[in-house]
Structure 1
Amino acid sequence: MHTLVDIAAAAAEELERARTSPHGRSARALLHDGALRHTLLAILDGQVLGDHAKPAAATLHVLSGTFVVHSGEAELRLGPGQLAVLPGPRHDVTAEGDAAGILTTVAG
């Protein structure tokens, strides 16, 4: 059986969870297939997902808001509808506006 996800509804739910979180962010697994993982990430305006290591491979597809990713001196700004490979080996993420996106990773 195939798993279907209503992305718009899931993003709205995750943003609502972020609004009730003391950290202003929330995430949940959407789909997972072997080492491939799709995670819905919601971060409220001005909140930060602190410095962390990048998995073996990672992309971010922005659904709403803007994510600003810093890796060393480099800055990557992603807005709605944009998809990019996340920089590494370490980075942090800040939201401008309440932001939601799909983080796709390959664990390894």
Structure 2
Amino acid sequence: MDDLTTLARHHLDQAKADPHGRSAHLFLHDGPLRQSVIAMVSGCELNEHNAPPAASLQVLHGHVRLTGGGDRMDLIAGQVQELPHERHGLRALEDSVVLLTAVTATHGCPTPYEEDTAAA
């Protein structure tokens, strides 16, 4: 079992020592499900990149700005947001740690709801 508080502290310390100002760690990988801790020092940016089929971002520490499609949204510790299904980026407005939860594939895997309705 991983402790998010410990991971957040550790990776924020690593981000502060990193020349690029960030540190990331994939700590859960179960089929198409991925969870990663991403730490970024104030001013650090993740340039726009493609979105997975489904994902959310939870701020564990700090203040970040999520950008994409001409929109921007500021998030603070304790807030969680679905990621846009388009190219998006992230900027740390202060030293920050986020929890990224992503589903990398959705095709061919029926959900429990789909299995229940198919049997009815």
Return the TM-score normalized by structure 1. Answer: 0.93
Letter in 1 for 2:69: G
Displacement of 1:18 in angstroms is 0.6
Q: 1:29 aligns with which of 23, 26, 31?
A: 26
The structure with more radius of gyration: 2
Displaced runs of 4 or more, over 3 A: none
Higher RCO (CA < 8 A, seq sep 6+): 1
Question: How far apart, CA to CA, are the structure 2 residues paired with 1:70 and 1:61?
Answer: 15
Q: Does 1:44 align with 2:78?
A: no
Aligned twin of 1:102: 99
- Over aligned residue pairs, what C-alpha RMSD do you find? 0.8
Q: Which is strand-richer, 1 or 2?
A: 1
Displacement of 1:88 in angstroms is 3.1
Gaps of 5+ in 1: none
Aligned pair count reads: 105
Q: Which is helix-richer, 1 or 2?
A: 2
Return the TM-score normalized by structure 2. Answer: 0.84
What percent identity do the matched residue pairs reach? 38
